[in-house]
Structure 1
Amino acid sequence: MDAKFSSNESTRLVETKQIFPSGTDTEVLRIESAVLSLMDSDHSNMADVIRVGEFAVRVITQTRNPILISLCMVDELHWPITKDSPILRVGSRSFAFAMPGLLYGLQFSESSSHEDVLQTLEGILMRFGHYEDHSGRVNGIQFSVPENSPCFWSASHSKIERITVPLFIRIGADPGKSLTSIIINGMNEGLSKVIRMSGITKVVAKAVLVGAIDSDHFDIFHVRSRPSDTHNDMVSPPGAFPTIFLFSDMVEAVEGSGLIASGNYESLPPCHPTWMPLPDIKIWNINKKGLILLLQALVTSASASASVYGDEMSSTTEKSEGREKMNWEPMEADAMTGDLMEEEVNSAEPMEEEPKKGEDKAICEIRFPIIVAGGNITTGNNGRNLVESGRGLCWDGSSMN
């Protein structure tokens, strides 16, 4: 493991790399004293602090396939950064991360946010994400509320959405209300979605590292605006970037299963996938086989860690131990909403529920862009049982030692 540090002891500017049998996990930046807030998608005047701790950016690449994942974390809360999810700089030390159904505000302390550090962060976000500077330093757009104000994120929410929503519409994503707001009583549905996104990000990243995801489980898309244009191939990393749909579709599946489990399946809004990969960027997404594999991994993890949910909801500073070993840790229990998802994934065919008597309303269903794109792929890799593959993905820690 190699690591170098900047003159500022609170920040690591040069990478720390860990090698695994099927991939590489590189921490490219670490900054102390970060505060992560969640802006409520349904109530624009609300913003809650959800994590306080060290901020880090990691890049995960697979050695045998040209795919990568880049992710951010504060403490042990993870989220992906992708080329089709907006990242905005909205102040001298404030950044916004938008995903379908989620909007994060990240703010660094004055002591840890030296400009050379933030310029390094900007370069990383430009390389791996859809980054724009709206801090007022470049394009003159300024956020009127001071960054040190406790209401900075709640006051800036609507302006951030006006910038980010057009991109989501362009790629066919729904930046609107979370499904969980329909079914959860007395619980912060936004925080539930945060936990699910974090857990799913961890599982996908580890699946890439240990080689559980191979070439049979994903497709690469490369739409060129001009057929002869090879400029972006020369300036971009050699690997394909993940789409935000890789993560958000799985979150939607979990939330949809919660609707079914609660008996509110009629409230499940129909989804008509219209995913449009951005031009001139290599994008990878799991196909139907990959979806089944990852959902099974989530099921297995959730079934083995029913007690984790409460700890994940309340913790903001607890550090994980033994990070170098990178053992498969249990997934947050809420990420699977109980045994229902286990029953769904164990079946090769979708389970159909009969309508109640006197009802002629069609049952809604989630239709994934990844299934539409790769729906003809239905068999396991070399005949392997996908259920067993999913269990190995979560618990075969021996290959990572």
Structure 2
Amino acid sequence: MSSSSGSTKWFPNGSIKIELFCYPTATALLLDYELVQSVKPLSSGVFVMNLFMQMVFPIITATCTINEFQWPLTKDTHVIRIGKHTFVFCILGVVFAFQFTGVTEEVNFMQGIIGVFMNYGQYKEHGVGIDEENPLFWSVAQPLAESMAHDMLLWLGHQPGRSHFSLLCHNNCSTRATRLSAATKIVTKAITSGTLLPAHISIQGGGTNDDESQNPYSASPSIEVFTCLVDALEISWLMSGGMLPSIRTHMQRLRSTHPPACNKIWKLNEIGLEAFLKGLDSTSEHEADEVVLLPVPPPTYKGKGKEKVNTLDFVDVNERRKSKRRSR
């Protein structure tokens, strides 16, 4: 049985986690970009959509979760309904789908899930001319879904296809999907822990009408918040293998060409990106769930020369726990 509303959890730092939607059985599938197209399972289990709201500064973040696999829902992420209960997410470097099974309350279910997609993402419907029950569904649907996803990404100024940093056997689509999940968890933990600060973000776009100015939670994240972190992990991996000389020469490739118009969005600025990268630089995607931002004040300046003091830090929770044990 589906649910369009759920629990609300408040955090001491002024953030909220709200369950927007929940359904008990769903499967996430990777539409792989390898030489031989394939559809690979990513995760199966309960599907949950959550909204994270930071009260101190006007940002929100919506996420989708199936079991341990998590991904963002943003205003510059296209969601395409290609089947009765099948949806495709278009994200730079990785295209994946998810399907609901055992749907019985058809009207309520569709109203709930589509309503959330329309509020927090870019939602479209485009059937592929074959029923999901047909065993040939994905052989027909995958190339059509990828073509539609590429059109959407081009509209946003992205170069569709595999990641720019997918070289030889490194940084394949499956790994990128795993890192996207880890990056999503890192960002949401930074919001709920209160360690993502106003100094880390910039808010762009949006109108100036009265309705919007009275809504303090109108800034949604750009997908760049998450893909920049994934790109940085890929660059770091190639650097460790001697295939890239420096991350700085590739930083401009972590930015999109055309941010979405008419939406108020937030991104990590240089200070915020640096704070996250310091942790990601020494942390693999398998350890990403155990990495959190510590409170980081904005850069300070002292002395006559106004010398900048680097106050950015990023700490592995496991290391912090080891330090506590040693101190005992």
TM-score by length of 1: 0.68
Task: Give the 3 Å change call, closer, same or farther, for CA 206–178 of structure 1 in structure 2.
Answer: same
The partner residue of 1:78 within 70, 85, 90 is 70
Count of residue correspondences: 305
Q: Provide the residue aligned with 1:164 in structure 2.
A: 149
Matched, 1:11 2:2: yes
Matched, 1:286 2:285: no
Correspondence list, 1:97-246, <5 A = 97-111=89-103, 114-134=106-126, 142-179=127-164, 181-184=166-169, 189-222=172-205, 230=209, 233=212, 238-246=217-225
Deviations 1:329-365 (A, max 9, x none): 425xxxxxxxxxxxxxxxxxxxxxxxxxxxxxxxxxx
**1:391 shift after superposition:** 1.7
**1:57 shift after superposition:** 0.2
Whole-Å Cα distance in 1 between the matches of residues 114 and 166 of structure 2? 34
SS at match of 1:51: strand
SS at match of 1:57: strand
Structure 1 window deviating more from structure 2 (258-267 vs 30-39): it is: 258-267
**1:209 shift after superposition:** 1.4
Whole-Å Cα distance in 2 between the matches of residues 114 and 235 of structure 1? 35
**1:216 shift after superposition:** 0.7
More strand by share: 2
**1:392 shift after superposition:** 7.9
Task: Give the 3 Å change call, closer, same or farther, for CA 237–160 of structure 1 in structure 2.
Answer: farther
Amino acid at match of 1:281: N
Unaligned stretches of 5+ residues in structure 1: 1-9, 135-141, 310-327, 332-377
Task: Give the 3 Å change call, closer, same or farther, for CA 210–267 of structure 1 in structure 2.
Answer: closer
Whole-Å Cα distance in 1 between the matches of residues 201 and 5 of structure 2? 31
Task: Give the 3 Å change call, closer, same or farther, for CA 379–301 of structure 1 in structure 2.
Answer: same
Amino acid at match of 2:178: I
**1:247 shift after superposition:** 0.7
Q: Provide the residue aligned with 1:32 in structure 2.
A: 24
CA RMSD of aligned residues (A): 3.2
**1:18 shift after superposition:** 0.8
Q: Provide the residue aligned with 1:355 in structure 2.
A: none
Structure 1 window deviating more from structure 2 (145-154 vs 48-57): it is: 145-154
Deviations 1:51-82 (A, max 9, x none): 11110000001010000100001001100011
Whole-Å Cα distance in 2 between the matches of residues 106 and 30 of structure 1? 14
CA contact (8 A) 2:75 2:220 kept: yes
Amino acid at match of 1:195: T
The partner residue of 1:249 within 228, 231, 235 is 228
Task: Give the 3 Å change call, closer, same or farther, for CA 267–156 of structure 1 in structure 2.
Answer: farther
Task: Give the 3 Å change call, closer, same or farther, for CA 392–385 of structure 1 in structure 2.
Answer: farther
CA contact (8 A) 2:74 2:223 kept: yes
Task: Give the 3 Å change call, closer, same or farther, for CA 396–286 of structure 1 in structure 2.
Answer: farther
Amino acid at match of 2:312: L
**1:44 shift after superposition:** 6.8
Alignment identity in percent? Answer: 25
